[in-house]
């Protein structure tokens, strides 16, 4: 058992934070045992004192492309389709080279941890070996993940287009090999409807059922994607309907990135399977997809997490996406007031921690029984103007940098110096 002292903040529910000022959090075998306003009686155990610093849960990134990490912060001048073909696909091709993949994935994971993200739903590339390296390293580090070997067997450049048979065979090998992992588990990853044949989708549905594995994809991200999905598969009714009809829903977690242009039927299906819609605020801005109806969808009962969607976004910090999500909800209401509402900081923090973390088990909160995956935040106060712990947390999300994360705990163990992201 170990005690940590500080200002402890975690989400109570969608709209409220639990704030424990000047308190103690007890951690036993990597799990939170309890939070105490005074030093507990049984306290003949080590105390680590973080003074007035904040102790908060680590973040969850529900949509990120690890292979696009080398591209971050550049090449933002094209819209989705052209951006993929001109910049992203040629980069993803390079992951056929295991040495390149190892260097890029090492840098990505170090930087993700540097930014305080310990749980992530990740796209690899079509390459099984490279994606295998990524999932193995996450498992070794104890990072929580749902990691996918990407499937694409049509309308893609030759160098990134699999045969249906290869795609299914390699995916099955990937599932077999990693299905018993403890923290970093496989997830099926058809890229999006425009690059997947029906035979592939049905085959993946069969694998999903056989291995009881969930699915991640891009859902109604742009008008082009939504229309293309319906044109390709008109009998499925809507983009989400394609995955339902292929048997891909109901075998495990369902994670749909973006969900910006859903029809009623998309919403009905997502609710039926308890699927997550992932808002990726910076990416939405950079490749101009549109703005999710975050508040309205949450009110309808859809689970919503936050994603960086590197390299659509350039910044790995989910704390920045929390602030951006609040900002985007204001634009949404300004330009489309009908049926939309703004979201609060508390709500956005919930999406980036407890709501997102629930995908991985008991992570994303500091309630008893949860993994002590936590961050210590400091160096963000002014000497001349007192802010409350919640205001300091809000400030961290608006202007924080990795230097403000003074310590990181993963499963109760302190993470020693991360290498940062420069490779």
For binding to ligand GUN (CB under 6 A), which residues are involved? Answer: 65, 80, 84, 88, 191-192, 218, 221, 283, 287, 309, 312
CB-nearer residue toward Fe ion: 309 or 346: 309
**Taking contact as CB under 5 A, which single stretch among the options 42-50, 87-95, 185-193, 303-311 is the one that binds Fe ion?**
303-311
Q: Which does 244 bind (CB under 5 to 8 A by kind): Fe ion, ligand GUN, none?
A: none
Query: Could you say which of ligand GUN, Fe ion, none residue 66 binds, taking C-beta under 5 to 8 angstroms by partner kind?
Result: none
Q: Which residue is nearest to Fe ion (CB)?
A: 309
- Give yes or no for residue 53 binding Fe ion (CB under 5 A): no
Q: Output the smallest distance, CB 11 to Fe ion, in A.
A: 25
Whose Cβ is closer to Fe ion: residue 309's or residue 394's? Answer: 309
**Smallest distance, ligand GUN to C-beta of residue 48, A:** 40
Closest separation in Å from C-beta 67 to ligand GUN: 9
- Contact flag: residue 61 with Fe ion (CB under 5 A): no
Sign of the alpha-carbon torsion through 124, 125, 127, 130 = negative
Of these partners, ligand GUN, Fe ion, none, which one is at the site of residue 191 (CB under 5 to 8 Å by kind)?
Answer: ligand GUN
319 binds, among ligand GUN, Fe ion, none (CB under 5 to 8 A by kind): none
Nearer to ligand GUN, 312 or 317 (CB): 312
Closest CB to ligand GUN among residues 3, 201: 201
In contact, 155 and 190? CB cutoff 8 Å: no
Q: Does 225 bind Fe ion (CB under 5 A)?
A: no
For position 92 contacting Fe ion by CB under 5 A, the verdict is: no
Question: Rounded CA gap, 408 and 307, in Å?
Answer: 20
Q: Which is nearer to ligand GUN, 287 or 377 (CB)?
A: 287
The CB-of-349 to ligand GUN minimum distance in angstroms stands at: 24
Q: Which does 110 bind (CB under 5 to 8 A by kind): Fe ion, ligand GUN, none?
A: none
Residue 309 interacting with Fe ion (CB under 5 A): yes
- The answer to whether 361 and 185 have CB atoms below 8 angstroms apart is no
Q: Of the listed pieces 30-38, 184-192, 304-312, 381-389, which binds Fe ion according to CB under 5 A?
A: 304-312
* Nearest to ligand GUN of 186, 312 (CB atom): 312
Under the rule (CB under 5 A), what is the footprint of Fe ion?
Answer: 309
């Amino acid at each position: 058992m170990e005690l940590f002292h500080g200002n402890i903040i975690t989400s109570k529910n969608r709209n409220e934070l639990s704030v424990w000022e000047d308190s103690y959090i007890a951690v036993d075998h990597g799990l939170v045992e309890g939070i105490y306003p005074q030093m507990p009686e049984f306290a003949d155990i080590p105390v680590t004192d973080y003074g007035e610093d904040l102790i908060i849960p680590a973040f969850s990134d529900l949509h990120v492309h690890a292979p696009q990490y080398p591209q971050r912060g550049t090449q933002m001048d094209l819209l989705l389709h052209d951006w993929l073909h001109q910049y992203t696909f040629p980069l993803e091709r390079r992951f056929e080279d295991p040495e390149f993949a190892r260097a890029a994935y090492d840098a990505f994971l170090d930087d993700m941890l540097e930014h305080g993200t310990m749980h992530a739903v990740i796209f690899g590339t079509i390459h099984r070996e490279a994606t295998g390296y990524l999932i193995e390293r996450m498992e070794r580090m104890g990072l929580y993940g749902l990691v996918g070997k990407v499937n694409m067997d049509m309308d893609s450049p030759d160098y990134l287009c699999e045969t249906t048979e290869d795609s299914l065979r390699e995916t099955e090998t990937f599932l077999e090999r990693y299905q018993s992992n403890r923290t970093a588990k496989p997830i099926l990853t058809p890229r999006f409807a425009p690059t997947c044949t029906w035979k592939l989708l049905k085959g993946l549905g069969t694998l999903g059922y056989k291995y009881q594995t969930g699915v991640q994809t891009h859902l109604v991200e742009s008008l082009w994607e939504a229309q293309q999905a319906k044109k390709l598969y008109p009998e499925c009714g809507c983009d989400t309907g394609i995955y339902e009809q292929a048997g891909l829903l109901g075998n495990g977690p369902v994670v749909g990135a973006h969900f910006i242009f859903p029809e009623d039927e998309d919403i009905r299906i997502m609710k039926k399977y308890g699927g997550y819609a992932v808002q990726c605020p910076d990416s939405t801005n950079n490749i101009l997809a549109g703005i999710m109806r975050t508040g309205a969808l949450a009110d309808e009962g859809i689970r919503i997490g936050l994603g960086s969607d590197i390299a659509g976004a350039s910044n790995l910090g989910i704390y920045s996406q929390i602030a951006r999500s609040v900002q985007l909800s204001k634009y949404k209401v300004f330009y489309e007031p009908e049926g939309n509402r703004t979201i609060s900081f508390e709500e956005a923090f919930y999406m980036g921690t407890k709501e997102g973390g629930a995908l991985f088990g008991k992570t994303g909160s500091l309630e008893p029984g949860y993994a002590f995956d936590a961050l210590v935040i400091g160096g963000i106060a002014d000497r001349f103007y007192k802010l409350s712990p919640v205001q300091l947390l809000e400030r961290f999300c608006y202007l924080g940098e990795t230097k403000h994360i003074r310590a990181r705990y993963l499963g109760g163990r302190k993470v020693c110096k991360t290498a940062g992201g420069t490779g």
